[in-house]
Structure 1
Amino acid sequence: MIKNLSYLQIFLLIFVSGCNNMSSSSNEYKVIYNNEPQQPKDEIQEKTDYTIAIIPKVINIPYFNAVEEGAIEAGNDLGVNVIFKGPSVADSAQQIKIINEFIENDEVDVIAVSANDPETLVPILKKAQQNQIRVITWDADTLPEGREFFINMVNPETLGRHLMDTLAWNVGEEGEYAIMTGAHSASNLNEWLKWIQKQQEEHYPKMKLVEISATDDDPHKAYTIAKQLLMEHQNLKGIIGNSSVGPPAAAQAVKEAGKAGDIAVVGLSSPNPMNEYLKDGSAQVITLWSPKKLGYLTVALSNNIVTGSLPHDNQEIPGVGKIRMIDDMVIMGEPIDFTKENVDQYDF
């Protein structure tokens, strides 16, 4: 229905600045319509009638703020309307409500969701498909019958094993450690947890996992949990945060307890919220991919499927790079490690 698109190149490693770390206390949803192009007119694809809905797990945390920026930029570049709308807390019931509204209002061509639960969203996603809406997942998957394909940031085994390695290297490969996850129901977090534990069992027998605590991607709850971990486990040597609110909360708790350097903090987070913690020794290594690029890729592939093109292995996506395919899973790229030596090179 539209001509071949010319995408703008975006930088791979310069992204959105860290935004407010505090989750919204209201139950209102956030909606952004991407109707106003920001690039020069001669560089913008003419707008189409296509509308792509991007649904994150939760709004108002830096990680998903960065995804939002990338999604909006892609919408401007590709000439499609983008709605970025998510719940104020990481809750699958609220995601179902949002999706049902899209279906009833007949306002979108594609729904792309980061699922808070891999099973409970499937019926509403099937309903969307029955109403001629294309459905994909990104960041966190559903069961395969709920979508066409899943956009993953990195290979989950590679990431989980690497997170365990970064902790082990910073605690001398021995001692007690804890994991701060997001929601217990999130499929991507559970997959990473599996590989973290498998790597420890296979390669670090002198280390012991003492607790896995769920923060529900709430910064306040994460901070409370981090302080509890320090109080309840006096021999704790390290904490892995496998969702983005975990490492900042853990580092703050370690810093306040005067245990910087004694308890290692590693995990997944954006570099900006972790900059000072890395520099003062309250955290050691932070790992992530580009969330902005993930948002851009999600809109680009959504636009491709609505115009008749499915992703394939080694496909070059302008503004993103080459993607890989494993069965029905897209893999965007490789993770990046941030330390006190290189953290100032990144801004997101």
Structure 2
Amino acid sequence: MVVRKVSGPLALVIHGGAGVIEPGQLGEADERAILTDLDRALDSGHAVLATGGSALDAVEAAVTALEDSPHFNAGKGSVFDAGGGHELDASIMEGHTRRAGAVAGVRTVRNPVRLARVVMDESPHVFLIGDGAEQFADTQPRIERVPNAWFDTETRLQQLRQAQAREQAQWQDSQNLRGKYFGTVGAVALDGRGRIAAATSTGGMTNKRWGRVGDSPLIGAGTWADERCGISGTGWGEFFIRNAVAHDIAARVAYRGDAIAAATDEVILRVVPELGGDGGAIALDRHGNIAMSFSTSGMYRGWIRPDGTRGTAIYGS
């Protein structure tokens, strides 16, 4: 491994989704496993930063680790759609260049965030979907392919059955969707050259139909990075799209001079809930200040600050 000189502060923040996660809801073994996988993702991303690697490589590494965990709604742990399969979405963005890549509705790509990165690096486009994204993946030797059933987990299958039972009982109305979109994974990193990147990946919503796509692969909604800050969102995607949540946070930093924590809180705790949505976001700025805001009862999250302190958490404080 080539070790490059690291000159500036390093920071990394990750999430594994926000939603109704109450203390005592998870078994002790599941809680330990989730925290272990959050730590593993932090280690993967920070190892890149600590050896002088780029923020872009760091968020790809961290999100890939989260996609490979069955405990989060991305990659291996993705929820089932209404047809009993999986459709996965992801995006990635480099702040100082504003380059970005995204994919939606892919079914055989083990790590969608890697395909999003390749779309950014190896194509003239930003966003590829469905069959076209799969055809592009066919041309890329670094993209690992798996059968759609590889993403299956028993927990997600039970969630599908429960959602379908509620639907048949005409239980599911707009208010009852609050807090039930949790899932999604993401990362934001600051490297030693002062550059920021962000990435987000998801399996979408349980029992989704009609090729539904949420905010995670949409640049400006679920993911944003510029020279000042980076953001990755998680929550009720329709409301994050309608409010361009990730970009709104960044705009408050750029145009009003808001601190990253204040900007994130304003959008996540006021703007989105005022329209009826909920969720969370992680963010950091070019000084390494980290924000982790959520209007739900919990958000899987982890962080490493510029001073080297780190932590993981699930529930609200």
TM-score surpassing 0.5? no
Q: TM-score, normalised by structure 2?
A: 0.30
Give the TM-score of the pair, scaled to structure 1: 0.28
Structure number, greater radius of gyration: 1
Structure with greater contact order relative to length (CA < 8 Å, sep ≥ 6): 2
